[in-house]
Structure 1
Amino acid sequence: MSLPIVAIIGRPNVGKSMLVNRLASSQNAIVHDEPGITRDRTYQQAFWRDRDFLVVDTGGLIFDDDTEFLPSIREQAIAALQESQAAIFVVDGQAGPTPADEEIAQWIRQQSIPVLLAVNKCESPEQGIIQAAQFWELNLGEPYPISSIHGNGTGELLDELVNHLPPNAEIPEQPEINIAIVGRPNVGKSTLLNTITGESRAIVSPVSGTTRDAIDMRVERNGKIYRLIDTAGIRKKKNVEYGAEFFGINRAFKAIKRADVVLLVIDAVDGITEQDQKLANRIIEEGRAAVIIMNKWDAVEKDAYTIYEYETHVKDRFYFLEWAEVLFVSALTGKRVEKTLDAIDRAAGEHQRRVSTAVINEVLQEALAWHSPPATRQGKQGKIYYGTQVRIQPPTITLFVNDPKRFNDNYRRYIDRQFREALGFTGTPIRLLWRGKRVREVERTINPATRV
């Protein structure tokens, strides 16, 4: 990552994620009154005075407990500190210094990195000075009283922080391909992210629901920048209670919306479920390009016909997603994972592809020659005058007709199929907009230059 990094560390439930959201002027980090919500390290961009930097949120540090995810959370926090230029140690001003704070402070003093001590939950400026004074005993320098909720004191904290960060460099902007990795819980999304990036970026566990935040990771290959976004596993709505999982799933849906390409990860052992189909529909509704990843292929018992049987199964269950490329991979062993970025390149290219009006109308003329539009019971036949592509991401084609109501679903699917066969658009949905004559007449009165 090109920007300097600032690690936010501390014990559980002291308000680290709230501070990250305050510094980044966002609501991307999950904030919930429950210890252990944040597990992986997540990055957000921040700015103060003349400095751009990244703040990395980390899970709560506990050194004397190795249950559940705590060892992995420690590894993620240590990794964040190692790649940072500075750190902010967050403590709870209302609780006062605790043995856990003292243990973290002792560990921090052994690190060769500038650390600022932020005493959070100091909502009253007068009382905050008294609360902060208790933390001089941690021997980490001046404690800064702040309120992550209200923003009190964060300006003074940032004024000191930027003194430890390098000045902004002239970094040429490079376009990024945003890739959301989505799927049901425990299908191998985090393992796939780690395998693609070549590092333990996300915590991997057989426990369902390990990933909660949407985790961004940048990868560069052949001069292209990819931003991979690991997301929480998405279960059926009726099974999700309000809390960490609810917030994680909302962030997964937001990740789909801001992605260029979505990797829909399927457990090859379980096969395609109804929930997988609902996720595929969500991708289509958002107009995102997609690649279907059949993961855990190493765990499937195979013979010479297995892959063909699976391909048939995928086509049957994802008949509405037939345009998406399918990869059979093993994120655990790395088999065929290298093909993923190639498939992403193809899908992203088609997602922003533009076709000339002349070519579109050639396809239309041939389609009309093979199959004329249907006629109503009164003998009135539909007419397609011409078509033109009006948008990309996804490719959107407007068809100007005499009356959209005269074109039934079967004929609309026929036209869609003709465009696919002639123009490809592998990896991306295409949208057809049927515009009637009356609309065109209204447009012409508003803008005389509108084409007839």
Structure 2
Amino acid sequence: MRKGVMAIVGRANVGKSTIFNRIVGERISIVEDVPGVTRDRIYADASWLTREFRVIDTGGIEIEDASFTEQIKMQAEIAIEEADVILFVVNGREGITKEDEFVARMLQKSRKPVVLAVNKIDDQAYKDNIYDFYSLGVGNPIAVSGSHGIGIGDVLDEVIQLMPDTEEEYDEDEIRFSIIGRPNVGKSSLTNALLGEERVIVSDIEGTTRDAIDTAFVKDEQKYRVVDTAGMRKKGKIYENVEKYSILRALSAVEKSDVVLVVVDGAQGIIEQDKHVAGYAHEAGKAVILIVNKWDLVQKDEKTMQNMEKELREQFKYLDYAPIIFVSAKEHKRVGLLFPMIQEVYANNRKRVTTSVLNDVLIDAQAMNPTTTFNGGRLKIYYANQVSICPPTFILFTNDPMYLHFSYKRYLENRLRESFGFEGTPIHIIARKRD
């Protein structure tokens, strides 16, 4: 199921970021009692009543010609356009302002469902103020206090009710893969090379691809669907407001993919943003392939590829399970090797291990390397079971999970990989106390 999207909008200094942090359960947005602190949209995942959704925090919309005002307004417009539900936040202590009326008109034009939250009602003396906000014409006002959490549950009940059904049709015979990476690493060229046609625009100008484009095709009797995402750019270096939203679209593409191809620029080398981009796929538990593109532009000797692979393993330590392939999308070199690799990591991400064989491997692992004392006790693993796939997830039933040292957990993961493969997919190991 695709996650629904809720955008939080309103004028400056009404408490949008405080409500955002309250909903997502952590302090992601900077909260400061100064107008205009939140300038870029900030994204986070949240859940309510078992429903997961994505939240966008936006900068405050102002009418006056102040610094960043026009950019903030345009960002909010994009968030409104792409959201399924809008949470419109106003300040219950200050009453309606001309900025509130301006935002209300924007929302009426959008024809999107709106939930009106009257914030800073943490004192009964202000309770009656909410009735004034009916005149905005965007729905029934709900009294809330972002600082104290009052009324947030009522707001989320309303949001979930208005969130559309986002169930997507899924062909079980089809392998879905997305191509992600920072701008200008050759994602569109790679898409065209895989498809064997000029499906997407290819340009040397950063940020050419702004939309995620789904394309279904068949290769060697196997169905595929590829999503070419807009390039992800570090927040502090995103200048075009449209491009900023491409991050959320790329996250959505990763979310609905089976396999994620993380592309880096072999000619330019690895930069910090590459690791940031790859982290999205790893955290989502997807099968991953690391692709070094533009290999035709690299001056090579007999050790160049080996040195590059060593650097990749050093920089992407959390992706040590991901296979690495060097390609030139422009010259269509080695691109054909990707298809069998995609099939392999796809299968590994869905691999199931029988309980008896799994426990035999763990018994052998403990015999070869017994547990040691940690946190005041010594770990005993009674038995294990695989509970899910995508990614493969294993439960260890123990005397006490606190006794499991991270290095021993890493050792067990390595033994599972040696025994069952799992190349290209993360695996999760969870320790629980046996009842």
Which TM-score applies when normalising by structure 1? 0.58
Tell whether the 8 Å contact from 1:374 to 1:407 is kept in structure 2 after alignment: no
- Counterpart of 1:185? 183
Q: How does 1:190-201 map to 2 (within 5 A)?
A: 190-201=188-199
Q: Distance in 2 between matches of 1:359 and 1:223?
A: 33
Matched AA of 1:214 = A
- Counterpart of 1:401? 398
Q: Aligned in 2, Cα 1:173/1:226: closer, same or farther, shift over 3 Å?
A: closer
Tell whether the 8 Å contact from 2:230 to 2:247 is kept in structure 1 after alignment: yes
Q: How does 1:26-41 map to 2 (within 5 A)?
A: none
- Counterpart of 1:343? 341
Gaps of 5+ in 2: 1-53, 55-71, 79-107, 114-169
| Matched residue SS, 1:399 | strand
Listed one character per residue, the Cα deviations across residues 283-331 of structure 1 (whole Å, up to 9, x for unaligned) are 1110000111100000001112211111212222122211111110000
- Counterpart of 2:351? 353
Q: Distance in 2 between matches of 1:412 and 1:148?
A: 51
Deviation at 1:282?
A: 1.9
- Counterpart of 1:220? 218
Counterpart of 2:203 (choices 199, 202, 205) is 205
Matched AA of 1:297 = W
| Matched residue SS, 1:393 | coil
- Counterpart of 2:424? 427
Q: Distance in 2 between matches of 1:364 and 1:395?
A: 16
Tell whether the 8 Å contact from 1:269 to 1:299 is kept in structure 2 after alignment: yes
Q: Distance in 1 between matches of 2:267 and 2:386?
A: 41
Deviation at 1:258?
A: 1.2
Deviation at 1:150?
A: 7.7
Tell whether the 8 Å contact from 2:391 to 2:427 is kept in structure 1 after alignment: yes
Identity of aligned residues (%): 41
| Matched residue SS, 1:338 | helix
Q: How does 1:114-125 map to 2 (within 5 A)?
A: none
Listed one character per residue, the Cα deviations across residues 346-392 of structure 1 (whole Å, up to 9, x for unaligned) are 110101111111111111011101111221474x3111011111101
RMSD over aligned CA atoms reads 2.8
Q: Distance in 2 between matches of 1:411 and 1:348?
A: 27
Deviation at 1:148?
A: 8.7
Which TM-score applies when normalising by structure 2? 0.60
Q: Distance in 1 between matches of 2:355 and 2:112?
A: 54
Q: Aligned in 2, Cα 1:367/1:173: closer, same or farther, shift over 3 Å?
A: closer
Deviation at 1:173?
A: 5.7
Listed one character per residue, the Cα deviations across residues 204-227 of structure 1 (whole Å, up to 9, x for unaligned) are 111111111111111201221111
Q: Distance in 2 between matches of 1:298 and 1:412?
A: 40
Tell whether the 8 Å contact from 1:174 to 1:225 is kept in structure 2 after alignment: no
Matched AA of 2:412 = I
Q: Aligned in 2, Cα 1:319/1:173: closer, same or farther, shift over 3 Å?
A: closer
| Matched residue SS, 2:344 | helix
Deviation at 1:271?
A: 1.5
Q: Distance in 2 between matches of 1:376 and 1:304?
A: 46
Tell whether the 8 Å contact from 1:354 to 1:392 is kept in structure 2 after alignment: yes
Q: Distance in 1 between matches of 2:370 and 2:248?
A: 45
Q: Distance in 2 between matches of 1:324 and 1:232?
A: 22
Tell whether the 8 Å contact from 1:204 to 1:210 is kept in structure 2 after alignment: yes
Matched AA of 2:418 = E
- Counterpart of 2:415? 418
Matched AA of 2:391 = P
Gaps of 5+ in 1: 1-26, 39-123, 125-146, 152-171, 442-452
- Counterpart of 2:295? 297
Q: Aligned in 2, Cα 1:375/1:177: closer, same or farther, shift over 3 Å?
A: same
Deviation at 1:243?
A: 2.5
1:384 aligns with 2:378: no
Tell whether the 8 Å contact from 1:293 to 1:327 is kept in structure 2 after alignment: yes
Q: Number of residue pairs matched?
A: 280
- Counterpart of 1:331? 329
Listed one character per residue, the Cα deviations across residues 381-426 of structure 1 (whole Å, up to 9, x for unaligned) are 1110111111011111111111111111111111111111121100
Q: Distance in 1 between matches of 2:285 and 2:204?
A: 32
Tell whether the 8 Å contact from 1:196 to 1:337 is kept in structure 2 after alignment: yes
Counterpart of 1:232 (choices 204, 209, 230) is 230
Tell whether the 8 Å contact from 1:389 to 1:395 is kept in structure 2 after alignment: yes
